Chain A
Amino acid sequence: EVLLVESGGGLVRPGGSLRLSCVASGFTFSDYSMNWVRQAPGKGLEWVSSISRPGTSIMFYADSVRGRFSISRDNAKNSLYLQMTSLRAGDTAVYYCARGTDELATDDAFDLWGPGTMVTVSS
Chain B
Amino acid sequence: SYVVTQPPSVSVAPGETATLTCGGYGIGGKRVHWYRQKPGQAPVLVMYNDRDRPSGIPERFSGSNSGNSATLSISRVEAGDEAAYYCQVWHVSGDHGPKVFGTGTQVTVL
Contact = CB atoms under 8 A, between A and B. Distances in A.
Given A108-B90, A111-B54, A60 B95 contact: yes
Interface string A95-114: 01010010001111111011
A63 B42 CA distance: 24
A35 B99 contact: yes
Contacts of A63: 1, 98
Nearest to A99: B45
27 contacts: A35-B99, A44-B84, A44-B101, A44-B103, A45-B43, A45-B88, A45-B101, A45-B104, A46-B101, A47-B88, A47-B99, A60-B95, A60-B98, A63-B1, A63-B98, A96-B42, A96-B43, A98-B43, A101-B48, A105-B96, A107-B30, A109-B33, A109-B49, A110-B35, A111-B48, A113-B42, A115-B41
A117 to B, nearest CB: 11
A58 interface: yes
Q: Across the A-B interface, give the 10 residue pairs with the lowest CB-CB distance, nearest first.
A: A109-B33, A109-B48, A60-B96, A47-B99, A113-B42, A107-B90, A45-B101, A44-B104, A111-B45, A45-B86
Interface in A69-123: 96, 98, 101, 105-111, 113-116
A58 B94 CA distance: 14
Interface residues of A, number: 25
Contacts of A44: 84, 86, 101-104
A11 interface: no
Interface in A34-66: 35, 37, 44-47, 50, 58, 60, 62-63
Interface of A: 35, 37, 44-47, 50, 58, 60, 62-63, 96, 98, 101, 105-111, 113-116
Interface in B50-85: 54, 84
Contact of A113 (B44, B84, B96, B101): B44
A63 B93 CA distance: 11
Nearest to A4: B42
A104 to B, nearest CB: 9
B90 A62 contact: no
Nearest to B55: A111
